[in-house]
Amino acid sequence: MKKVEAVVRDEKLSGTKEALKALGVAGITVTEVKGHGTQKGITEVYRGREYAVDLLPKIKVEAIVDDKDVKKVTNAICEVARTGSIGDGKIFISDVSDIIRIRTGESGVKAI
């Protein structure tokens, strides 16, 4: 099993949710986050004054998927979240050693 964490633009959340739903991803966790990549934020002008915004608002979508589904999940996220501009986000994939469904006690892939 793998944990797929996608940090995307906030306006791309609904498309990302729909793409994951269409693939049959059972559950997701969504968190509002702030951060920056290599660009270190942006510079904006407000009332004639320039100021730096170094932590940009993003959305983090997390899902646990079976190993065989990782590629199609990441491809779907990339397809709907890509604008071609700086700040489109990142996808992180990590191993999950086990999952336990609290309600039933099921574990492993059955608990996804």
- The helix (H) or strand (E) run that includes residue 43 is strand 42-46
**Alpha helix ranges (H) inside 1-112:** 13-22, 70-81
Q: Which helix (H) or strand (E) holds 92?
A: strand 89-95
Answer yes or no: CATH 3.30.70.120 is held by domain 2-111.
yes
Is 39's pLDDT higher than 80? no
What pLDDT, on the 0 to 100 scale, is given for residue 41? 67
Q: Which amino acid is at 31?
A: T
Proportion of the chain above pLDDT 70, given as a percent? 99
Rounded to 5°, the CA angle 32-36-39 comes to: 150
- Annotated domain spans of the chain: 2-111
In the chain, the percentage of residues whose pLDDT exceeds 90 is: 73
Q: Which residue has the higher pLDDT, 41 or 63?
A: 63
Q: How far apart are CA 43 and CA 99, in angstroms?
A: 43
Q: How far is CA 51 from CA 15, 46, 56, 93, in A?
A: 31, 8, 13, 34
Give the residue from 96, 72, 92, 80 showing the smallest Cα distance to 17: 80
**Per-residue pLDDT at 98:** 95
What does the pLDDT look like over 51-103, one tens digit per residue? 777 888 999 999 999 999 999 999 999 999 999 988 899 999 999 999 999 99
pLDDT at 29 over 90: yes
Residue 18 has pLDDT above 80, yes or no: yes
Backbone angles phi and psi of 37, in degrees to 5: -105, -145
